[in-house]
Amino acid sequence: MSTVEIRGVSKRYGSVAALDDVSLEFADGEFFGLLGPSGSGKTTLLRSIAGFVEPDRGSIHVGGEEIARVPIYRRDIGMVFQNYALFPHMSVSDNIAFGLSVRGIGREEIRARVEDALKLVRLEGYGERRPRQLSGGQQQRVALARAVVSRPRVLLLDEPLGALDKNLRQQMQIELKQIQRLVGITTVLVTHDQEEALTLSDRIAVFNQGRVIQAGTPGEIYDSPRSAFVADFMGEANFFIGRVARRQGDEMQIVLDDGAAVMASGPSRLAENAAVRLVVRPEKMSISASEASIPPHHANRLAATVEQVVFMGSSITYRLNCAGAEVSVYQQNQDPPRAAEGGAVWISWRATDTIPVDD
Amino acid sequence: MTRRRVLPGLRLALGVTLLYAAIIIVLPLGALVFKAASLGPEDYWRIVSSGRALASYRVTVLSALAATAFNLVFGMALAWVLVRYRFPGKRFVDALVDLPFALPTAVAGIALTTLFAPNGWFGEPLAAIGVTVAYTPLGIMVAMAFTSLPFIVRTVQPVLEDLDPALEEAAQTLGGSDASIFVRVILPLLAPALLAGVSLSFARSLGEFGAIIFIAGNQPFETEITALLAFIRLEEYDYQAAAAIASVLLITAFLMLAVTNLLQARALRYTARG
How far, in Å, are A173, B42, B147 from residue A308 at the CA level?
33, 95, 72
DSSP state letter for A227: B
Query: Is there a single domain that holds both residue B153 and residue B26?
Result: no
Q: Which helix (H) or strand (E) holds B148?
A: helix B137-162
Has residue B43 been placed in a domain?
Answer: no
Residues of B in contact with A79 (CB under 8 A): 169-170, 173
Judge: A98–B174 Cβ closer than 8 Å, yes or no: yes
The verdict on residue B46 lying in a domain is no
One domain, residues B32 and B161: no
Which residues are A252's β-sheet partners?
A: A247, A264
State the angle between helix axes of B137-162 and B105-116 in degrees (0 to 180), rounded to the nearest 10.
120
Instruction: Provide the domain limits for residue B29.
Output: 7-37
Specify whether B32 is located in the same domain as B55: no
How many domains are there within chain B? 2
Per-residue pLDDT for chain A (359 aa), expressed as one digit of tens each? 589 999 999 999 988 899 999 999 999 999 999 999 988 999 999 999 999 999 999 999 999 899 988 999 889 999 999 989 999 999 999 999 999 999 888 999 999 999 999 999 889 899 999 999 999 889 999 999 999 998 999 999 999 888 788 888 888 898 899 899 888 999 999 998 888 999 999 999 999 999 999 999 999 999 999 999 999 998 899 999 999 988 888 888 999 888 888 898 877 778 888 888 999 999 999 998 888 888 889 989 999 999 999 988 888 999 999 888 899 999 888 877 677 888 899 999 999 999 998 86
Residue B4 has what pLDDT?
Answer: 65
With CA atoms as reference, report the closest residue to A32 among A49, A11, A20.
Answer: A49
- Both B87 and B141 in a single domain? yes
- Candidates A48, A102, A158: best to mutate against B (most CBs of B within 10 A) is A102
Instruction: Decide if B44 is inside a domain.
Output: no
| B256 and B210 inside one domain | yes
Query: How buried is A253 (Cβ within 10 angstroms: 0-12 exposed, 13-18 middle, 19+ buried)?
Result: middle
The answer to whether B176 faces chain A, any CB pair under 8 Å, is yes
In Å, how far is A86's CA from the nearest CA of chain B? Answer: 7
HSE of B111, CA atoms in CB hemisphere, 13 A: 11
Angle value at C-alpha A85, between A163 and A26, nearest 5 degrees: 80
| DSSP three-state, residue A275 | strand
Is residue B1 assigned to a domain? no
Residues B98, B139, single domain; the answer is: yes
Would you call B177 helix, strand, or coil by DSSP? coil
Are B271 and A81 a contacting pair at CB < 8 A?
Answer: no
Inspect the interface and report whether the beta carbons of A51 and B175 lie closer than 8 Å. no
Does B164 sit within 8 Å of A83, measured CB to CB? yes
Q: What is the pLDDT along chain B (274 residues), one digit of tens a residue?
A: 556 667 667 788 888 889 998 888 888 888 888 888 888 888 888 888 888 888 999 999 999 999 999 999 999 999 999 998 889 988 999 999 988 888 888 898 898 888 888 888 888 888 888 888 878 888 899 999 999 999 999 999 999 999 989 999 999 999 988 899 999 999 999 988 898 899 889 988 988 888 888 888 787 888 888 888 889 898 888 888 888 998 898 888 888 888 888 888 877 665 554 3
In a domain, B45, yes or no: no
3-state SS class at A355: strand
User: Do residues B20 and B107 share a domain?
Assistant: no
Give the tens place of pLDDT for each residue, B76-123. Answer: 999 999 998 889 988 999 999 988 888 888 898 898 888 888 888 888
Domain contains B42: no
Does residue B96 sit in the same domain as residue B118? yes
Same domain, B31 and B104: no
- CATH number, residue B139: 1.10.3720.10
Question: What is the layout of strands, in order, in the sheet containing A211-216?
Answer: A77-80, A154-158, A186-191, A31-35, A203-208, A211-216
Q: How many A×B Cβ pairs under 8 Å?
A: 70
Overall pTM surpassing 0.90 (yes/no): no
Question: Do B28 and B130 sit in the same domain of this protein?
Answer: no
Residue B2 lies in a domain: no
What's the N-to-C CA distance of chain A in angstroms? Answer: 39
Ramachandran category for residue A63: left, alpha or beta (phi over 0 → left; psi -120 to 50 → alpha): left
Distance CA A230, CA B77 (A): 49
- Beta-ladder partners of A22: A9
Q: What is the DSSP string of A279-319?
A: EE-GGG-EEESSGGGS-TT--EEEEEEEEEEEE-SSEEEEE
Q: What is the Cα B184 distance to its own chain's centre?
A: 27
B162 touches chain A (CB under 8 A): no
User: Could you tell me if B126 and B20 lie in one domain?
Assistant: no
HSE-up (13 A, CA, CB side) for residue A242: 26
Q: Are residues B92 and B187 in the same domain?
A: yes
SS3 for B220?
coil
DSSP-assigned letter for residue A256: E
| Rounded distance between C-alpha atoms, residue A194 and residue A233, angstroms | 7
